[in-house]
Amino acid sequence: MNLDELRSVQSKERKKDSLQNLRPSFYQEVGEYIAELEDERERVADQVDDPFSSPEIGRLTDEIETAKDVVEAIYERRMGKLVKQASLAAAGMAANDEGLTAEEADLFDDLVDRIGANKSRVLDVLEGVDTDGDGDTETHEIDGDGAGDAPETGDESRHPAADASTDESDDTPPVPPQEPPSDVTPADGTDGDAEPESTASSGVTPADVMGGDGPAIDDGPSEPSSAVPDADAPQPEEAVADANPAAETDTEDDIERVTVRITQDLGSILGVDEREYSLSTDDVVTLPAQNATPLVEREAAEPLE
């Protein structure tokens, strides 16, 4: 193990979308390599008068710090890929778990188990299963008539139906429903018979609904009102422009677009052109430049010439 091998592993890990195969003892070998450099630095420090000004000690210190930075970058790069593969395995899909180090293999198995357990817990919640502290479960079953057991809150005012059925000692006769008098005169002073039945019985006038002198509401056939526009009348130019789909395509042509290849599963995004794009690994898609540029900068996409 040396610094050149570490840099080669780092470069290959950056270029690949999948995990490269590493020896199970890779991290262990890196640890031994760094320990050897530290031991050598201590030996040189014992042999020189001023360790702080020794060029050999400076070289060894730089190599130790560089090796630590490189192996940390390798680990972080591989963790993103490992988590993705573990989520696929937990979902029952094909996952690549080959070439993992001993430490990564343990983490992979633990992630798969945890994701599966968490999924089961979420499904139990969706099925109405409550898990208490002792591990026992309680289900809310629905009776044959479609009504479940209502929780006892102590507030009887929230269950008026229950009060009506249990309070049998109340001798007060129920109040009969009141029918509106037939000779009621509308508030505007007009004859109630002249107004359509639907608006007269509800007390709501067309002006209340339309915010002014709106069209009359009538359940039956009647002469067309002057407030209703004629279907054969020419449409205003603004309405025709809104109904013309070509008006929207003119603005989309002004948007600069870039063709990229997606390197990470990103799911669905909404572009600046108000279109929804579903982005998965290895997809080749043409996106607006304002959406594609941030993806390329975060190494989530690669531009295609």
Q: What is the pLDDT along the chain (305 residues), one digit of tens a residue?
A: 899 999 999 999 999 888 999 999 999 999 999 999 999 999 999 998 888 889 999 999 999 999 999 999 999 999 999 999 999 999 889 888 888 999 999 999 999 999 999 989 998 898 887 665 444 444 444 444 444 444 444 444 444 444 444 444 445 555 555 555 544 444 444 444 444 444 444 444 434 333 444 444 444 444 444 444 454 554 544 444 444 444 444 455 678 898 998 998 888 888 888 888 888 888 888 988 889 899 988 888 999 86
Q: What is the pLDDT of residue 132?
A: 55
The closest alpha carbon to 91, from 64, 115, 125, belongs to 115
Q: Round to whole Å and give the CA distance between 51 and 150.
A: 79
pTM, to two decimals: 0.42
CA angle, 34 then 36 then 38, to 5°? 70
Report whether 30 contacts 68 (CB < 8 A): no
Report whether 258 contacts 286 (CB < 8 A): yes
The enclosing H or E element of 292 equals: helix 289-297
The enclosing H or E element of 29 equals: helix 26-47
Q: Round to whole Å and give the CA distance between 63 and 147.
A: 72
The closest alpha carbon to 258, from 280, 273, 246, belongs to 273
Q: Which CATH number fits domain 254-303: 1.10.10.10, 3.30.413.10, 3.40.5.50, 3.40.50.261?
A: 3.40.5.50
- What are the residue ranges spanned by the domains of the chain? 3-126, 254-303
Please name the CATH architecture into which domain 3-126 falls: Up-down Bundle (1.20)
Question: Would you state the structure tokens that stand for residue 288, as one six-digit string?
Answer: 């607006």
Question: Would you state the structure tokens that stand for residue 232, as one six-digit string?
Answer: 């054969």
Question: Would you state the structure tokens that stand for residue 254, as one six-digit string?
Answer: 């002004």
Q: What is the pLDDT of residue 42?
A: 93
